[in-house]
A and B are shown apart, each in its own frame.
Chain A
Amino acid sequence: MTITLPDAELLFKQLVEKIKPLITADTALVGIHSGGVWLLERLLAELGNDVKHGTLDVSFYRDDFNQRGLHAEPKPSNIPFEVEGSHIILIDDVFYTGRTIRAAMNELFDYGRPASISLAVLANRGGRELPIMPQISTFDIDLVANKNLQLLRHDDGRFYLQLEESD
């Protein structure tokens, strides 16, 4: 069966509309490398750069370090705002097992105790393995394990979704 993927640019517009009403002085947006950071950059352009924000690379917090070792190119995390008391919206491109988000939450708590953490993703592809779910998602689909849904960027920065199949 052929799966037709939606236009990622339209999904992004929906994401902006869903996040916009949640922004207050206490809100901070945190993008997870690398797709979540791409989304964060575009969100800030839409919502205004004065929204508190930061980036996370969860390489040092992954639960599969003993099996897979360290990611070859970790990026420094950058949380330049006061985490204590902030309402944080984590931004990621595709939600799958929930393990990345667990790692991201563990890392955030090493900066301080946030008032709340929510999760916004462009796509929820199914396959959750932990009791973690996105509060905001613009596209939900149930994919089998050997399908890999990815957010990619054209040279001009526009988003598109791609589905790959592994053996």
Chain B
Amino acid sequence: MHNPQLSDDGKLKHLLSIEGLPRNILNQILDTAESFVGVAEREVKKVPLLRGKTVCNIFFENSTRTRTTFEIAAKRLSADVINLNVNTSSQSKGETILDTIDNLIAMHADMFVVRHAQSGAAHFIARHVGPHINVINAGDGRHAHPTQGLLDVFTVRHYKPDMHNLRVAIVGDVLHSRVARSEIHALTTLGVPEVRVIAPKTLLPQHVEKLGVHVYHDMREGLKDVDVVMMLRLQNERMNGALLPSAQEYFKCYGLTQEKLDYAKPDAIVMHPGPMNRGVEIDSAVADGNQSVILPQVTYGIAVRMAVMSILAGNS
């Protein structure tokens, strides 16, 4: 089946989803990101790869953190960056997504970073733009968040280089999480033999096993002997709904405390895509503890996004 992310000769043209991407492309992104990590430690934190290019961060849904990391990544590649919060401007005046995109194309934009509440929005835009423009999905509905998935596996690979010998647990709201989906696809494509999801039944998608994961409802059982614990964000607005009894109850069963973490391997790492709900998904002592790699995740996120942008620009 034709993958809309790839050109006819198999090169990455857009990054819309991890699903369907071959292992060699994921490895190319991760290896390239490795070289970008050092750029942030230099006197001049820039390389000239995207000099003269214009990157548009089009956010139809707010996300300060993701937008900022994409902005820093583009600027470190020497691109010009335009940030658009569309929900507060054009769309409220009645303009369609494609009108907005056409206007930005007319302004000679070269790359679109798109965040949208609707699944498939980035695919929709990628189908519309010409061959000289690259589209990166920065999160669409419940579907995908490929750069977050990639930065998570980059972090795993950094701390646990032998990916073929790992047990990884993903904990929390898998149902609403585009991050979890991207993480699962990335981990399984890169050959991680055992990926577990740990969540109450109400927060798991139907037939989640089809993604190749093992399902656990008990945190202690699910964390036993894992090398990596990936916590997911739980949106506070969902606490009062029918899916969860209360934040306190959730923390008691699925919040990561040191006592629960001790079921994992002693050198297990703890990850979280942020922003964290301390005392709901994760105990502060664990979030700030010596097994936490939550802040390095943010640092690596910039290197991974630089890698994606430069590979796409080089292929167009």
Q: In the complex, what residues of A have CB within 8 A of residue B310's CB?
A: 60, 70
Confirm or deny: B231 has a beta carbon within 8 angstroms of a beta carbon on chain A.
no
With A110-B42, A111-B43: A70-B49 Cβ-Cβ less than 8 Å:
yes
From B28, which residue of chain A is reached at the shortest CB distance?
Answer: A72
Confirm or deny: B315 has a beta carbon within 8 angstroms of a beta carbon on chain A.
yes
Confirm or deny: B46 has a beta carbon within 8 angstroms of a beta carbon on chain A.
yes
Interface size class for chain B? 20 to 34
> Nearest-CB distance from B52 to chain A (Å)?
9
Confirm or deny: A69 has a beta carbon within 8 angstroms of a beta carbon on chain B.
yes
With A60-B48, A60-B310: A69-B42 Cβ-Cβ less than 8 Å:
no
Confirm or deny: B37 has a beta carbon within 8 angstroms of a beta carbon on chain A.
yes
Asked whether, in the complex, the Cβ of B35 is within 8 Å of the Cβ of A110, the reply is no
Asked whether, in the complex, the Cβ of A70 is within 8 Å of the Cβ of B47, the reply is no
* Chain B contacts with A in 2-55, Cβ cutoff 8 A: 28, 31-32, 34-39, 42-44, 46-49
Q: In the complex, what residues of A have CB within 8 A of residue B39's CB?
A: 60
With A60-B49, A110-B46: A78-B35 Cβ-Cβ less than 8 Å:
no
> Nearest-CB distance from A30 to chain B (Å)?
14
> Nearest-CB distance from B45 to chain A (Å)?
8
Q: In the complex, what residues of B have CB within 8 A of residue A111's CB?
A: 42-44
Asked whether, in the complex, the Cβ of A70 is within 8 Å of the Cβ of B314, the reply is yes
Q: In the complex, what residues of B have CB within 8 A of residue A69's CB?
A: 311, 313-315
Q: Which of B38, B48, B311 contacts A70 (CB 8 A)?
A: B311
Residue interface bits A21-36, CB-to-B below 8 A is 1, else 0: 0000000000000000
Complex formed: what's the CA distance from A61 to B78 in Å? 11
Q: In the complex, what residues of A have CB within 8 A of residue B43's CB?
A: 83, 110-112
Asked whether, in the complex, the Cβ of A61 is within 8 Å of the Cβ of B314, the reply is no
Q: In the complex, what residues of B have CB within 8 A of residue A83's CB?
A: 43
Q: In the complex, what residues of A have CB within 8 A of residue B311's CB?
A: 69-70
Of the listed residues B28, B32, B37, B313, the one surrounded by the most CB atoms of chain A closer than 10 A to its CB is B32
Confirm or deny: A106 has a beta carbon within 8 angstroms of a beta carbon on chain B.
yes
Looking at chain A's contact residues, the main secondary structure is loop
From A62, which residue of chain B is reached at the shortest CB distance?
Answer: B49
Q: Which of B38, B47, B313 contacts A76 (CB 8 A)?
A: B38
Interface size class for chain A? 20 to 34
Asked whether, in the complex, the Cβ of A65 is within 8 Å of the Cβ of B35, the reply is no
Asked whether, in the complex, the Cβ of B38 is within 8 Å of the Cβ of A78, the reply is yes
Q: In the complex, what residues of B have CB within 8 A of residue A14's CB?
A: none
* Chain A contacts with B in 61-84, Cβ cutoff 8 A: 61, 65, 68-70, 72-78, 83
Of the listed residues A73, A74, A107, the one surrounded by the most CB atoms of chain B closer than 10 A to its CB is A74
Q: In the complex, what residues of A have CB within 8 A of residue B35's CB?
A: 57, 59-60, 74-77
Q: In the complex, what residues of A have CB within 8 A of residue B49's CB?
A: 60, 65, 70
> Nearest-CB distance from A32 to chain B (Å)?
14
With A106-B48, A110-B43: A65-B314 Cβ-Cβ less than 8 Å:
yes
Q: In the complex, what residues of B have CB within 8 A of residue A110's CB?
A: 42-44, 46-47
Asked whether, in the complex, the Cβ of A73 is within 8 Å of the Cβ of B42, the reply is no
> Nearest-CB distance from B33 to chain A (Å)?
10
Asked whether, in the complex, the Cβ of B48 is within 8 Å of the Cβ of A74, the reply is no
Q: Which of A65, A73, A77 contacts B38 (CB 8 A)?
A: A77
Asked whether, in the complex, the Cβ of B42 is within 8 Å of the Cβ of A60, the reply is no
From A68, which residue of chain B is reached at the shortest CB distance?
Answer: B314
Q: In the complex, what residues of A have CB within 8 A of residue B36's CB?
A: 60
Complex formed: what's the CA distance from A70 to B31 in Å? 12
> Nearest-CB distance from B34 to chain A (Å)?
6
Residue interface bits A87-113, CB-to-B below 8 A is 1, else 0: 000000000000000000011011110
From B44, which residue of chain A is reached at the shortest CB distance?
Answer: A110
From B24, which residue of chain A is reached at the shortest CB distance?
Answer: A72
> Nearest-CB distance from A67 to chain B (Å)?
10
Q: Which 4 A-B pairs have the closest CB atoms?
A: A69-B314, A110-B44, A60-B47, A70-B314
In the complex, 12 of the A-B residue pairs with CB atoms within 8 angstroms, ordered by the A residue number, are: A57-B35, A60-B47, A60-B48, A60-B49, A69-B315, A70-B311, A72-B28, A73-B31, A74-B31, A83-B43, A110-B44, A110-B47
Residues on A facing B (Cβ under 8 Å) = 57, 59-61, 65, 68-70, 72-78, 83, 106-107, 109-112
A-B contact sample (18 more), CB < 8 A, given A65-B313, A76-B37? A59-B35, A60-B47, A60-B48, A65-B49, A65-B314, A69-B313, A70-B32, A73-B31, A74-B31, A74-B35, A77-B35, A77-B38, A78-B38, A83-B43, A106-B48, A109-B44, A110-B46, A111-B44
